[in-house]
């Protein structure tokens, strides 16, 4: 995982954020172009970090894997395709086109796998009754228990993005807040005060590597300038 993350980082960046859609939101019988076309305004996956939710408007590099939705043919109406995604010839091209549209200029790799994620026991059965046994979304609840969900389509992504500026700078502020000199056990464990301060400065410098000339996070950086 460390080497994989390194392949997505450059210009002093060392951290990537994990995102996922579990399950990937798609209706029964819908094609990948249909599913992604419903999310033209925002990506359908969520940040897995405990940091507060943020909308992703750009990224530097990313790797995305989708499992369980790979119909070769879209369900577009006869005539002209409904969107550029419906004109793609393969699921891989559909996903790559979607990523290019959402994150223009970003380095993106993508993979589409046919096999969904197996969710039969002992997988935790925490699913909504709106899911079919194959993990697709219904308009209304189904007749059987959500414990009957046997598999789900899943999308997972690793991203190097400006969201990490807010996350890392926030972590730096939280570590600076307490007076660690009062915690004798903290330093008896082998940590030196100078080393601790140096690590905080390195963390702040790392967070600055994820800044951009636009987007959210500027006010937070000013608050951290002291």
The model's pLDDT over 67-85, given as tens digits with 9 standing for 90+, comes to 998 664 545 444 445 788 8
- Total domains in the chain come to 2
Domain boundary among 160, 195, 217: 160
Segments of the chain scoring below 50 in pLDDT: 72, 74, 76-80, 214-226
Instruction: Give a yes or no: residue 86 inside a domain.
Output: yes
**What's residue 226's pLDDT?**
39
> What is the pLDDT, as a whole number, of residue 218?
41
Q: Residue 204 sits in which domain range?
A: 165-209
Q: Is residue 192 part of a domain?
A: yes
In the block, residue with structure tokens 């419906």:
86
Q: Are residues 22 and 115 both part of a single domain?
A: yes
**Contact in structure between 161 and 17 (CB atoms under 8 Å):** yes
Q: Are residues 70 and 147 in the same domain?
A: yes
| pLDDT at residue number 118 | 94
- Same domain? For 155 and 169 the reply is no
Q: Is residue 137 part of a domain?
A: yes
């Amino acid at each position: 995982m460390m080497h994989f993350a390194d392949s997505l980082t450059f210009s002093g960046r060392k951290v990537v954020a994990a995102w996922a859609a579990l399950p990937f939101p798609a209706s029964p019988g819908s094609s990948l172009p249909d599913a992604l076309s419903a999310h033209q305004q925002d990506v359908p996956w969520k940040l897995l970090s405990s940091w507060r939710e943020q909308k992703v408007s750009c990224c530097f590099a990313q790797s995305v894997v989708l499992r369980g939705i790979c119909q070769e043919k879209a369900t577009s109406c006869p005539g002209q395709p409904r969107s550029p995604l419906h004109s793609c010839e393969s699921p891989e091209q559909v996903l790559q086109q979607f990523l290019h549209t959402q994150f223009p200029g970003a380095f993106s790799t993508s993979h589409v796998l046919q096999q969904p994620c197996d969710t039969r026991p002992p997988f935790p059965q925490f699913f909504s009754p709106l899911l079919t046994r194959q993990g697709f979304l219904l308009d209304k609840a189904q007749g059987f228990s959500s414990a009957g969900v046997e598999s789900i389509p899943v999308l997972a992504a690793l991203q190097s993005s400006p969201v990490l500026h807010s996350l890392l700078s926030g972590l730096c502020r939280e570590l600076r807040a307490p007076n660690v000199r009062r915690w004798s056990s903290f330093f008896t464990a082998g940590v030196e005060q100078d080393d601790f301060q140096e690590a905080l400065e390195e963390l702040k410098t790392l967070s600055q590597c994820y800044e951009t000339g636009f987007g959210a996070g500027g006010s937070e950086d000013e608050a951290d300038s002291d």
